[in-house]
Amino acid sequence: MMPPPDSAQHAPSGRFLVQCEVLRLSAQPSGGVLAMQFLLDCGVAALFAWQYSVLHALAWIALIAATTAYRGFFPQRLPVPLTPDTLRPALRLHMLRIAIHEGAHGAAGVLLFHPSNGTVQLLLGMVIMGMTLSSAFSVSYYTPAMQLAITLLLAPVIAMGVIHGAPPMVALSLLGIGLLAMVWRLVAERSGQLQENIGLRQNESMLREQALAGLRESQQAQAERLRFFSAANHDLRQPVMAMGLQAEVLRQQLSAGEDTVTVQHTVAALSRAQQALEGLTHQLLEIGRIEAAADPLVPAAVALAPLLHEIARQGASGRVRVRCPADAVAWTDAVALRRILGNLVDNALKFAPRGRVLLACRSRSDGWRVEVRDAGIGIAPEAQERVFGDFEQIGNVERNLQRGHGLGLAIVRRLALRLGVEVTLRSAPGRGSVFGFVLPAAPPDARVLPASAAVVPATPHDAVALRPGLAVLVVEDNAVVADSIAALLSLWGARPRVYGSAAEALALADLPAIDVALCDIRLPGELDGIALAARLQQHKPGLAIALVSADIDDATQQLARERGWQALRKPVQPAALRRLLVQAQN
């Protein structure tokens, strides 16, 4: 499976989000606070106009008025949205605005400093220190901006006091240096607490959003699951109902002594219903295994040309053509790829009943593009997204089960998701369809998987007579299934020996006389069907053995091949069972 792109590098960090929130809080318009501060500044200006100089006081209050008007009437406009590239310039602009405003306040330390009156000097120092304490926690929430504001407020009066002040003012200036250091530390601590609180609040908000998103996804998944099971229930009941009705028709026909042709017609209808039911259950089980990731992916170098020719031979004689370079080798899971192509070809054959299907492959810069093209009925643009849904059949509104159940493309979508490829669709009504996807090219030094053996046309085993009295061991714990297998074997002239558990079979069966063994995998007791098959092979090495189960997976098939056994998936087809018996007797 292709690794997902690293989304972490595109996601904003927690520190970035906290800084954005701090800047938003600091840049909020604060007209009321500025107005109140300006009134206090007017009082300070009046005090020092009385005690020192009207001209200096007017100059200072004019400077304060200009910077206050600038901050009040022209607030900072933050870029929307804030990004890592725009955040830093916005912070620098914020610091500049704060520096201008607080620098104007700090100018009082120079403009209102009385060079010859120590009492006025002390009064000015106390007033500016009070401004510092009040401004330290109101001017901004951004630590560098607050520390710069404190420095611009205190530094001028400290410098004037140390250089030109009376001894008491010098002492106060030294205390101001200690106050500056203390407020710097308090501001840093307060800012850290604020940022921690913002981070906690954002985490809480993020967790709440994630919980709500998870709830919505869960509700959506539950709704989709209910729709899936409702559709599955409907399509499962169709063949079951048909089988029940046809069974009753057959019973009445046999009671009435109907002719052979009529009875065979009913049996054929029963067989079609059974095949539809088997096909649906197989697809439902396959979807379950895909979603549970029961079959692990094994990426390898896969030669595409032999695989496409094999699928074409299995599809339909003469209707599926292949166009693929001989050197096309992709890096993917061969089993999943075969299932994807098999479903796409099957879908094309169903909806292009009289046309040809082309399996094509061509080289691209990013790998090999594989396409399945048909000349069928086509799909309208508004329905192309929907065809990959469960139980969706655009060209089968009458729900004809002979044309499938609408799960083939749903299986393709799930398998492609596991492989990390995207299946595209180009189609138009009446113009056919093209399903395609891109597979990564295999590394040049990768060992190519051996091509599958050519598919040889099946021998008509119905025409081959079974040896009379062929002894068949049937180990099956389901009585209905066991009786059905035994009845069919008896009709063919074989001698079935039926047991319900491995222990019973090993204890009671005449093992040397057995020719074939059918072992259900899920058996009651300590020994399952695989363990029983191993015991039987020890007793009689040449015995023909077949594992039987509804959930035969790739691992089970591989185990059977390694030990020389067969693997039959339930429901077992009579032709597959007879083929096994013919091979065993030969």
Residue-wise pLDDT for 179-216, tens only, equals: 888 888 888 888 888 878 887 787 787 778 888 888 88
Average pLDDT over residues 550-560: 84
> Residue 402: CB partners within 8 Å, gap ≥ 6?
272, 276
Chain-wide mean pLDDT for the chain?
A: 84
Are 413 and 472 found together in one domain? Answer: no
Tell how strand 329-332 and strand 300-303 pair up.
antiparallel
- Positive or negative: CA dihedral 342, 347, 349, 355: negative
Are 481 and 410 found together in one domain? Answer: no
Are 313 and 165 found together in one domain? Answer: no
Give the pLDDT confidence score for residue 534 in this predicted structure: 94
Lowest mean pLDDT among 120-134, 279-293, 315-329, 368-382: 279-293
Give 495's strand partners: 471
Report if residue 450 sits inside a domain. no
Is the pLDDT assigned to residue 402 strictly greater than 60? no
Is the pLDDT assigned to residue 375 strictly greater than 70? yes
Are 504 and 388 found together in one domain? Answer: no
pTM flag (> 0.75): no
Average pLDDT over residues 485-511: 91
Average pLDDT over residues 16-44: 85
Is the pLDDT assigned to residue 6 strictly greater than 50? no
Is the pLDDT assigned to residue 7 strictly greater than 50? no
Look at 134 and 376; give whichever has higher pLDDT. Answer: 376
Confidence of residue 112 (pLDDT cuts 50, 70, 90): very high
Q: How many domains does the chain have?
A: 3
Calculate what percentage of the chain has a pLDDT beyond 70.
89
Report if residue 59 sits inside a domain. yes
Confidence of residue 585 (pLDDT cuts 50, 70, 90): confident
Confidence of residue 381 (pLDDT cuts 50, 70, 90): confident
Q: What are phi and psi of 459, to 5 degrees?
A: -75, 135
Give the pLDDT confidence score for residue 550 in this predicted structure: 81
Span 508-549, pLDDT tens digits = 888 889 999 999 999 999 999 999 999 999 999 989 999 998
Are 429 and 482 found together in one domain? Answer: no
Span 217-248, pLDDT tens digits = 877 777 767 666 766 666 677 777 778 888 88
Domain that holds residue 392: 300-439
Report if residue 410 sits inside a domain. yes
Are 85 and 33 found together in one domain? Answer: yes
Report if residue 269 sits inside a domain. no
Are 372 and 484 found together in one domain? Answer: no
The SS3 assignment for 550 reads coil
Are 494 and 424 found together in one domain? Answer: no
Is the pLDDT assigned to residue 2 strictly greater than 50? no
Are 430 and 471 found together in one domain? Answer: no
Q: Among 192, 211, 230, which residue terminates a domain?
A: 211
CATH of the domain at 378: 3.30.565.10
Are 400 and 478 found together in one domain? Answer: no
Report if residue 47 sits inside a domain. yes
Give the pLDDT confidence score for residue 502 in this predicted structure: 93
Are 85 and 157 found together in one domain? Answer: yes
Report if residue 455 sits inside a domain. no
Average pLDDT over residues 149-164: 91
Secondary structure letter of residue 3 according to DSSP: P
- Helices marked H in 453-563: 479-491, 502-508, 529-539, 554-563
Task: Give the CA count within 13 Å in the CB-facing half-sphere of 460.
Answer: 2
Give the pLDDT confidence score for residue 258 in this predicted structure: 87
Report if residue 171 sits inside a domain. yes
Q: Among 422, 439, 456, which residue terminates a domain?
A: 439
Confidence of residue 55 (pLDDT cuts 50, 70, 90): very high
Span 444-454, pLDDT tens digits = 888 887 655 33
Report if residue 172 sits inside a domain. yes
Look at 473 and 258; give whichever has higher pLDDT. Answer: 473
Are 365 and 421 found together in one domain? Answer: yes
Q: Among 157, 189, 211, which residue terminates a domain?
A: 211
Is the pLDDT assigned to residue 5 strictly greater than 50? no
**Nearest CA-CA partner of 511 in 564, 567, 471:** 471
Any idea which residue has 């599958």 for tokens?
452
* DSSP codes joined into one string, 66-130: HHHHHHHHSPPPPPSS--HHHHHHHHHHHHHHHHHHHHHHHTHHHHT--SS-HHHHHHHHHHHHH
CATH of the domain at 470: 3.40.50.2300
Give the pLDDT confidence score for residue 213 in this predicted structure: 84
